[in-house]
Structures are given as C-alpha cells and as structure tokens.
C-alpha cells in the first residue's frame, strides 16, 4: 500500500469493501466508534465494530408522527437519514452525575466526579447533525462559562460525516442552510455512490486528523466521472427535499405575533409531552437534581435533560411562569427560531425534522412557523 498521503481538503475514492479499514484505523487510533445500528425496529446510535453492524440495505420512511424502517432493494450502507437519537446522546448524556457528597459531622464534603471520557468517533453523522453539534458547541461554551464534560468529550471526538443522498419526508435542512451535503465540522466526509457495477465512497478530508486516517486506508484518486456522479447525487437529494421553512421573517414570530391565535390552536393538539425537545439535536435544557440517601449520610447531584414543555420548568415560588400549554409550545418554537439567534448568533433549528417525525400528533414546526409568521387575518406581516 504505497500511496501519497492524503492532505486536508483532498478527495479520494474508497471501495465499499475497503470501508472497514477506516473503522480499523480509528480503532487503532484509540477511538470508540459509534454509528447507526438497528435496535428494536429503529435506527439508533450505538457501538460499531464492523461495517456489517450498519443498517445495510435499510431505508426509512418518515412523516409527521411516523417513522418506519424498510428493507430496500439496494445494498446501501447509508440509505436512511436520522433517527430519534442524535450525537448529543454522547456529547451531552441525558443523565450525568456531577458530584457526590458525604455527611461529615456538622457538615459535608463534596467529591467531584473525575470522569474519564472515551474518545468517540462518530461514524455517519449527517450534515444537519454536524450543524447541531456546532450549535451546542456555542451553548456549552457561552460568553462566561464552559461546560467541562461537554467540551472534554467534544475535544476528543472524531467526526465521519455522511452526505445525505435521499432526504426523508420530514427533512428541511436545505432551507436552514445546514445540508444535505456536509460543508464543515467533519474530519472525514463520505458520499456513498452505487451504480450497477460499483459501490464506493468519495471521502473528503476535512481536517488533518481526517487526512491522516485516510492516508492509512486503501484508496484511489477521484476521477472527473466520480465527481460528476457525486454531484448528481447531491443535487438529486436537494431536489427531493419537499419540506421548507421560510426563514425570511422569523423574528416577527416573537416581536409581532406573540399573541397570534395559532399558538392557542396548536396547543389544542400539543400534548406537551416534550418528545420534540428530547429528539432535538440542539435542545440543551437540563435540570439539576439532588438526591440523598434515606439515612441522610450520602448525597449526589445529577444533571438530567429537561424540557420546557413541563410546567415545572418555569416554576418559581407561587406558580409556573408558563402555566398554559400555549405558552410552553410558544417558548419552544420561539426559542428555536428567534431568541436563539440573540443568545448564540445562530438559529436553534437545523432542519433535521426529528421534532416532526417524533411528535405523537405530528405537529410540524415548518407549518406552525409559516402560519404564525403571517398576520392572523391573512394580512401580510409588517416588515
């Protein structure tokens, strides 16, 4: 295997049968590789030892409130898009212990967790998900404070992106400028190409680390025809994406239409179950929970994902600030699409469509936003 080393931004071709080598190199570099695997009828992210752990030959069908995995007639490795889980499962675990404490005489001692975090390789991250990670990077590293756990895990993680070739019915990344093709934030980006004769990947080195990994696998140079094929696939993916979110006047949702009747309407359907916040790859809200042993001699503090859809979320002595369902849906949507911008300089939505797919009643953020962006009587909004 005498090849020229791959450099940053280089593109190379890797045959389907050689893809395992990437996993092998990552393992030898000490990464624990996580990728899409099938568990109990859905695609989740889990440990990936071989390429055969991937959902080979599976595709998904997604719509508001519905998700189905389906066998396809092609042996693609990445013929589906995103499932309920996102990489935040690893970067920002749903529960984590912050410290333990023991009673000592009149007082107590606090023992901080000294976690050892594994170096993860996220294999098969979609463009929207990478955007979500970059958004959470800003959240957990705000103007005043940094989150130790998140930043430790993040610093060590390696990202292998996969460019989407077939969007799901709930995807709208194109209108959020976050996909379907990965443009930044990855170490390696793969485009899966399957013709009658060949099954191969174009791999792009997005970082020096990525280039180093690619240099150690079997590849051949990319040809003009390969590139044309990839371009066709990327363009087709873009064309197939039917769902859109009009982002031209999102600010009006908060500033002008805070009392829009649609909030009330949607709250009639919303179960305030919080599914959308759990599956959202950018949602970061959490609660701090103190637990104490019954004998009172031992206590722990945990951090747990929380949802703005609960009444408790805004509770201060005397009652909840957001008591109505309407106000809680409004908080979530306006946070994603309006106030997030002021907080973090970016929208809080990447167009992955999870909140639409996993909403038990199929509430669609793109539809709700487009109704609320307009003045209630159909009068065009003031700009």
Indicate whether 268 belongs to the interface with another protein (CB under 8 A).
no
Distance from C-alpha of 372 to C-alpha of 383, rounded to nearest angstrom: 14
Indicate whether 139 belongs to the interface with another protein (CB under 8 A).
yes
Name beta bridge partners: 37. Answer: 44
Residue 120 or residue 313: which is nearer to another protein going by CB? 313
Give me the phi and psi of 220, to 5 degrees please.
-135, 160
Q: Which two tokens stand for residue 116?
A: 């050892």
Indicate whether 95 belongs to the interface with another protein (CB under 8 A).
no
Residue 38 or residue 299: which is nearer to another protein going by CB? 299
Distance from C-alpha of 205 to C-alpha of 160, rounded to nearest angstrom: 10
Q: Considering only residues 8, 49, 71, 108, which one is a binding residue for another protein as defined by CB under 8 A?
A: 108
Distance from C-alpha of 231 to C-alpha of 211, rounded to nearest angstrom: 22
Indicate whether 235 belongs to the interface with another protein (CB under 8 A).
no
Site for another protein in 309-328 (CB under 8 A): 313-319, 321-324, 326-327
Residue 335 or residue 354: which is nearer to another protein going by CB? 335
Site for another protein in 161-220 (CB under 8 A): none
Name beta bridge partners: 286. Answer: 305
Q: Which two tokens stand for residue 176?
A: 């959020």
Indicate whether 299 belongs to the interface with another protein (CB under 8 A).
yes
Concatenating the DSSP letter of every residue in 268-316 gives HH-----HHHHH-SS---EEEEEEE-TTSSEEEEEEEE--TTSSGGGEE
Q: Considering only residues 1, 2, 116, 144, which one is a binding residue for another protein as defined by CB under 8 A?
A: 144
Contact 382, 249 (CB under 8 A): no
Residue 52 or residue 145: which is nearer to another protein going by CB? 145
Binding site for another protein (CB under 8 A): 98-99, 101, 103, 106-110, 112, 139-140, 142-149, 254-255, 258, 284-288, 290, 292, 296, 299, 301, 303, 306, 308, 313-319, 321-324, 326-327, 330-331, 334-335, 338-339, 341-343
């Amino acid at each position: 295997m005498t090849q020229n080393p791959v450099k940053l931004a280089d593109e190379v071709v890797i045959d389907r049968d050689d893809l395992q080598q990437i996993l092998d190199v990552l393992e030898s570099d000490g990464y624990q590789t996580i990728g899409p695997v099938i568990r109990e009828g859905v695609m989740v992210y889990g440990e990936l030892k071989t390429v055969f752990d991937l959902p080979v030959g599976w595709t998904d069908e997604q719509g508001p409130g519905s998700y189905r995995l389906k066998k396809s007639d092609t042996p693609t490795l990445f013929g589906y898009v995103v499932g309920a889980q996102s990489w935040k499962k690893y970067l920002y675990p749903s529960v984590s212990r912050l410290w333990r404490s023991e009673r000592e005489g009149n007082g107590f001692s606090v023992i901080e967790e000294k976690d050892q975090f594994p170096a993860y390789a996220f294999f098969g991250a979609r463009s929207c998900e990478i955007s979500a990670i970059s958004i959470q990077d800003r959240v957990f590293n705000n103007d005043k404070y940094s989150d130790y756990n998140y930043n430790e895990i993040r610093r060590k993680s390696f990202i292998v992106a996969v460019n989407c070739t077939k969007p799901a019915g709930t995807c709208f990344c194109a209108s959020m400028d976050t996909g379907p093709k990965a443009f930044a934030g990855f170490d390696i980006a793969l485009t899966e190409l399957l013709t009658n004769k060949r099954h191969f990947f174009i791999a792009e080195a997005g970082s020096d680390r990525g280039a180093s990994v690619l240099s150690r696998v079997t590849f051949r140079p990319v040809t003009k025809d390969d590139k044309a094929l990839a371009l066709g696939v990327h363009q087709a993916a873009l064309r197939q994406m039917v769902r859109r979110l009009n982002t031209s006047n999102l600010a009006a949702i908060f500033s002008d239409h805070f009392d829009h009747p649609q909030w009330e309407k949607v709250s009639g359907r919303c179960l305030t179950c919080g599914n959308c916040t759990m599956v959202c790859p950018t949602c970061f809200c959490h609660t701090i929970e103190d637990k104490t042993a019954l004998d009172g001699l031992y206590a722990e503090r945990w951090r747990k994902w929380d949802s703005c859809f609960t009444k408790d979320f805004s509770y201060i002595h005397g009652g909840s600030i957001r008591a109505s369902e309407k106000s809680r849906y409004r908080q979530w949507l306006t946070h994603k699409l309006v106030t997030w911008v002021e907080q973090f300089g970016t929208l809080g939505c990447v167009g992955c469509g999870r909140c639409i797919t996993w909403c038990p009643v199929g509430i669609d953020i793109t539809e709700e936003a487009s109704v609320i962006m307009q003045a209630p009587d159909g009068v065009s909004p003031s700009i």
